[in-house]
Amino acid sequence: MRIAVMGAGSVGGYLGGMLARGGHNVSLIARGEHLAAIGERGLRVVRDAGEFTVRCAATDAPGDVGPVELVLLTVKTYQNAVAVPEMAPMVGPDTAVLCLQNGVDSYLAPAAAFGAGRVLAGAVYIEAGMPSPGVVSQAGGVVRVVFGEPDGPERPAPEGEGELPERGRAIADAFNASGVPAELAADIRAGLWAKFLFIATMAGVTAMARQTLAELMPRPEWREVVVGCLREVEAAGRANGVNFPPGIHDTTLAYIEDNLADLQASMHTDVLAGRPLELEALNGAVVRAGRAAGVPTPINDVIYAMLRPLADGIS
């Protein structure tokens, strides 16, 4: 399969590297020193299970890649205004775009640009990083991709936009055969919110506190904030018709408590570094969902208010 990764940083680089090692024709869209290092030495993927280096095409010009079968959209959500139009040369009549960004409505940006029938929404469960240019890392025992069609698996693709149910199965097969567990979900909205429950809580609380969950959870006052944030996100989702899996709150809290050493939110890292934040896609989305359904979200209101002045980064 011809695949392009729009945003080959930590998550996109890991997925692209695994797919390239699995035999797929992968083109990585990257920038600056990271791009230069990939061109010189290949992409190095460091995992708990071992490491490897792959040689694959890398460029900062999507027009050099041309139409592909699959584009993975993995840039930060605040980059969509620039990144989505830049993807256009890679999106042909038979291209599927898989949005694997944080948030529950991020897929709407590529859907508006390229047509809803070409876009799949998804979530990635992974602890990934980029320790140096040309190197991506993955830690912990959880790597999982869940994706599907925003309107459900039985929605027919619009004329001229291919048969996305079949594409979805082919994409899942490509991931699984390359060592990345993947599931084509019947209700991707529930899947998106299940990850969102975790990531919005972890990102928002740790960015506000400027400390990791490993530092916060042993302290009763901060554990209560984390638990309260989880409850708010779940309540906002349910009030908006999200069909969460049974016991989602307890399952998510248990995952947090069992994996504290490996949990690091990119928004926490970004706020410490003075970089832009995915605040609107995360805690901002919780606030908006709560207001839409008349559900109070006081913890997320405070997180949003405290981080909003920093959302564009510190120059």
Separation CA 9–CA 101 (nearest Å): 12
Residue 239 lies in a domain: yes
Separation CA 45–CA 221 (nearest Å): 38
What pLDDT score does 150 carry? 86
Q: 30-63, pLDDT tens digit by residue?
A: 999 999 999 999 999 999 889 999 999 999 999 9
- Categorize the per-residue pLDDT at 306 as very low, low, confident or very high, splitting at 50, 70 and 90: very high
What pLDDT score does 315 carry? 67
Q: 83-125, pLDDT tens digit by residue?
A: 999 999 999 999 999 999 999 999 999 999 999 999 999 999 9
Residues 178 and 257 in one domain: no
- Categorize the per-residue pLDDT at 212 as very low, low, confident or very high, splitting at 50, 70 and 90: very high
Better-scored residue on pLDDT, 200 or 150? 200
* Exposure string for 28-62, b = 16+ CB within 10 A, e = fewer: bbbeeebbebbbeebbbbbbeeeeeebebebbeeb
Residue 123 lies in a domain: yes
Residue 72 lies in a domain: yes
Residues 282 and 302 in one domain: yes
Residue 9, exposed/middle/buried by CB under 10 A (0-12, 13-18, 19+)?
buried
Residues 271 and 136 in one domain: no
Q: Mean pLDDT in the chain?
A: 93
Residue 70, exposed/middle/buried by CB under 10 A (0-12, 13-18, 19+)?
buried
Domain harbouring 22, CATH code: 3.40.50.720
Domain harbouring 245, CATH code: 1.10.1040.10
Residue 61 lies in a domain: yes
**φ and ψ at residue 124, rounded to 5 degrees:** -115, 125
Question: Tokens representing 118?
Answer: 């070409």
Residue 8 lies in a domain: yes
Domain count, the chain: 2
Q: 216-239, pLDDT tens digit by residue?
A: 999 999 999 999 999 999 999 999
Distances (CA, A) of 199 to 30, 70, 101, 202: 24, 26, 11, 5
- Domain housing 69: 2-186
